[in-house]
Amino acid sequence: MPPAASSAPPGETGGDVGEIASSPRFGESPAGPLLLSLRLSATVEAVPRARHALRAVLAERVPRAPVDTLELLLSELVTNAVRHSTRGRTVAVAVLRRENSIRIAVVDDDGAALPEAGDAVDLLDEHGRGLLLVEAMAEEWGSYPVPDGKVVWCDVKTVE
């Protein structure tokens, strides 16, 4: 059976990521019901764990969601959070249902600089395309600082 809406994989807790992700800083309207809240070790294993949990909760709660797009954008945001985590402890993920979209929010402990999508990268560069993908595929995206780091979020339009 897929994980419950606010559950985390065994041994990991959601903490307060849902509260951070649904804060008014996301915009003028409430962010919506929390579908998934995870706190993961800031390691490469965080990316497939987050994808698996996302796919399971969407299959149960939002069957018509654009799962492939959401998985790709979640992967990019979690990868960036793991890569830029300064203390290497944890990253947190929240997925929220909005009226016509799904919001993904990722919290990490690197508050030094807020991300920017930037310009096109050299074809031989190994990094630098993640936020370009997020910018191209999300309805909108953004970031803001929190006391111990930053939140990077994106909205993906759903089909009703």
Domain CATH code at residue 120:
3.30.565.10
Is residue 8 domain-resident?
Answer: no
* Count of structural domains, the chain: 1
- In the block, tokens 């149960």 appear at 60
CA 117/CA 129 separation, integer angstroms:
8
For residue 12, the model assigns a pLDDT of: 37
The contacts of residue 59 (CB under 8 Å, 6+ apart) are 2, 67
In a domain, 74, yes or no: yes
Determine the structural domain holding residue 117 and report its residue range.
Answer: 17-157
In this structure, which amino acid lies at residue 55? R
Q: Model confidence over 53-80: pLDDT tens digits?
A: 999 999 999 888 899 999 999 999 999 8
Q: pTM of the predicted model, to two decimals?
A: 0.77
Q: Is the pLDDT of residue 46 over 80?
A: yes
Can you tell me the mean pLDDT for 4-28? 41
Residue linked to tokens 């990722």 = 106
pLDDT at position 69 is: 95
Q: What is the pLDDT of residue 28?
A: 37
